[in-house]
């Protein structure tokens, strides 16, 4: 908030460019002939209790002239076979991280991050979010059924049988080193790979 107030207090000082923040609005349509000329935004309203608030469309729209659009948040969760999924919100339905199936808790399965709450918040938001889910797991631990095969070897064998490429910690170290090397010519700490295929190609 202090940072945004600082922006608001700045004077134009004769500059011919400015930026504006539009809060509580979601893009719903791009318009234009051969190129983008405007974007349609839906005004949102907040609902839900504190720390579980979410934005909902109000049915009120406005059109904003623009010639260029950048998408910075486009994540949408995808279903996992065998687990319930909220198609509207793109999340695993849950309460405090405990997965819900038609309102009933599914024992031993938990969620965290955007698959838990949708694409909202910042990196720092994930810390209390994950603490909530871990607290639920620890609270449930005494009543959870033990794993039939509590052995990582069994999991590795299953993945190998299914042809799943396993990335070990040593593999990750190679990827990490490659990203750092990629960044050096550009004067950057690292140049991250953006596709899984690029990462595995290093290995």
Q: Is the pLDDT of residue 31 over 90?
A: yes
Checking if the pLDDT of 171 tops 70, the result is: yes
Average pLDDT, the chain: 90
- pLDDT of 27 strictly over 70: yes
pLDDT above 90 (res 183): yes
Q: Which of 145, 164, 183 is where one domain is finished? A: 145
Long-range contacts formed by 83-91: CB under 8 A, 24+ apart: 83/109, 89/54, 89/118, 90/118, 91/115, 91/116, 91/117, 91/118
Q: Given this model, what pLDDT does residue 38 score?
A: 97
Tell me if 100 is assigned to some domain.
yes
* Whole-number pLDDT of residue 125: 83
98 and 117 part of one domain? yes
The number of domains in the chain is 3
Of 57-71, 72-86, 126-140, 167-181, the poorest mean pLDDT is in 72-86
Task: Please state the pTM of the whole predicted model.
Answer: 0.55
pLDDT at residue 19, as a whole number? 80
Q: Look at residues 117, 145, 173 and tell me which one is the last residue of a structural domain.
A: 145
Could you read off the pLDDT of 102-115 as tens digits, one per residue?
Answer: 999 999 999 999 99
Q: Are residues 57 and 93 in the same domain?
A: no
pLDDT of residue 15: 79
pLDDT bin (cut points 50, 70, 90) of residue 8 is confident
**91: how many CB neighbours lie within 10 A of its CB?**
20
Closest CA to 115 of 104, 129, 128: 129
Q: What is the pLDDT of residue 73?
A: 65
CB–CB of 28/61 below 8 Å? yes
Do 118 and 157 have their domain in common?
A: no
Determine the pLDDT at residue 135: 97
Q: Return the residue matching tokens 């134009």.
A: 12
Per the domain annotation, does 60 fall within a domain?
yes
Distance between CA 152 and CA 99 in Å, rounded?
A: 24
Structure tokens at 47: 């609902």
DSSP structural state of residue 141: G
Token output for 181? 């090397």
Residue 71 lies in a domain: no
Question: Which strand ranges, in their side-by-side order, compose the sheet holding 54-65?
Answer: 25-31, 38-47, 54-65
Q: Which domain holds residue 115?
A: 76-145
The DSSP bridge partners found for residue 57 are 44
pLDDT value at 57 more than 70 = yes
- Residue 181 to residues 39, 129, 186, Cα–Cα distance (Å): 40, 34, 10
pLDDT at 52 over 80: no
pLDDT at residue 1 is higher than 90: no
User: 39 and 87: one domain?
Assistant: no
């Amino acid at each position: 908030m202090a940072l945004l107030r600082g922006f608001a207090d700045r004077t134009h000082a004769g500059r011919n460019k400015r930026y504006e923040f539009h809060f509580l609005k979601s893009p719903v349509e791009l318009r234009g002939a051969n190129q983008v000329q405007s974007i349609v935004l839906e005004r949102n309203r907040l609902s839900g209790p504190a720390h579980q608030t979410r934005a909902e469309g109000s049915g009120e729209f406005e059109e904003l002239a623009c010639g260029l659009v950048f998408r910075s948040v486009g994540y949408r969760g995808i279903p996992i076979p065998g687990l319930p999924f909220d198609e509207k919100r793109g999340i695993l339905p849950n309460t405090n991280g405990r997965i819900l199936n038609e309102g009933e808790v599914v024992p031993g399965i938990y969620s965290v991050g955007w698959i838990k709450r949708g694409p909202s918040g910042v990196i720092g938001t994930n810390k209390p979010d994950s603490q909530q889910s871990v607290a639920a797991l620890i609270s449930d631990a005494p009543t959870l059924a033990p794993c039939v095969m509590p052995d990582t070897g069994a999991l590795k064998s299953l993945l190998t049988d299914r042809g799943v490429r396993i990335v070990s910690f040593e593999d990750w170290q190679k990827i990490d080193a490659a990203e750092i090397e990629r960044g050096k010519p550009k004067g950057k700490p690292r140049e991250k790979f953006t596709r899984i295929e690029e990462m595995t190609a290093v290995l």
